[in-house]
A and B are shown apart, each in its own frame.
Chain A
Amino acid sequence: GIQVEQSPPDLILQEGANSTLRCNFSDSVNNLQWFHQNPWGQLINLFYIPSGTKQNGRLSATTVATERYSLLYISSSQTTDSGVYFCAVDGSGTYKYIFGTGTRLKVLA
């Protein structure tokens, strides 16, 4: 099955800094999502982005499907951005997502 790798595994930033999170996948994908899991365990949808570029406030994402990776950009980070960021992909078109191992982000005030 499709493999999903996220990097870096851990990231510590000072408030106001920018960061780039990466998601590599081993095969073509039909669906791809980015999530933020807050400290209470809730998964929050950030982007549905099987291809192309999207922006939402301080966050943006780009998926280059032909090269099998997606990037999540966080600009001017805030302490509320802390948590775990997951990339999830559906490579088989069966609507079953495979999750990456996540990037654990901590933003310091």
Chain B
Amino acid sequence: EADIYQTPRYLVIGTGKKITLECSQTMGHDKMYWYQQDPGMELHLIHYSYGVNSTEKGDLSSESTVSRIRTEHFPLTLESARPSHTSQYLCASSGPWTPPGNEQFFGPGTRLTVL
């Protein structure tokens, strides 16, 4: 079973603040993902990475940015948070060591509230 960690689990901040949501995995997975989910709704892919120094935007437009400097670490940053960014953010990973193919594993999520 994959180990994926997200911090913080809950965050309440004011408008205009810069925030970074952390995501780390210990399985050596090459692929990592960020999804955004409103309560009770489907997940939308906002960023993904196929490996170090590789990042792509997902299908849902997002004002956030990501970086992938180390295999195990995939942080998401919002330069200036707004109330419209209030949501749950879920990190996932998969990789060549995930039999049989591309099974994704998810972290516990970060619930962000911007006041």
Contact = CB atoms under 8 A, between A and B. Distances in A.
Contact of B103 (A33, A43, A84, A101): A33
Given A1-B59, A96-B58, A101-B41, A48 B109 contact: no
Interface residues of B, number: 28
B103 A96 contact: no
B42 A104 contact: no
Contacts, number: 62
B103 A95 contact: no
A40 to B, nearest CB: 8
Give the interface residue-count category, chain A: 20 to 34
B103 A41 contact: no
Interface of A: 1, 30-31, 33, 35, 40-43, 45, 48, 50, 84, 86, 88, 90, 95-102, 104
Interface of B: 31, 33, 35, 37, 40-45, 48, 50, 58-59, 88, 90, 92, 94, 100-106, 108-109, 111
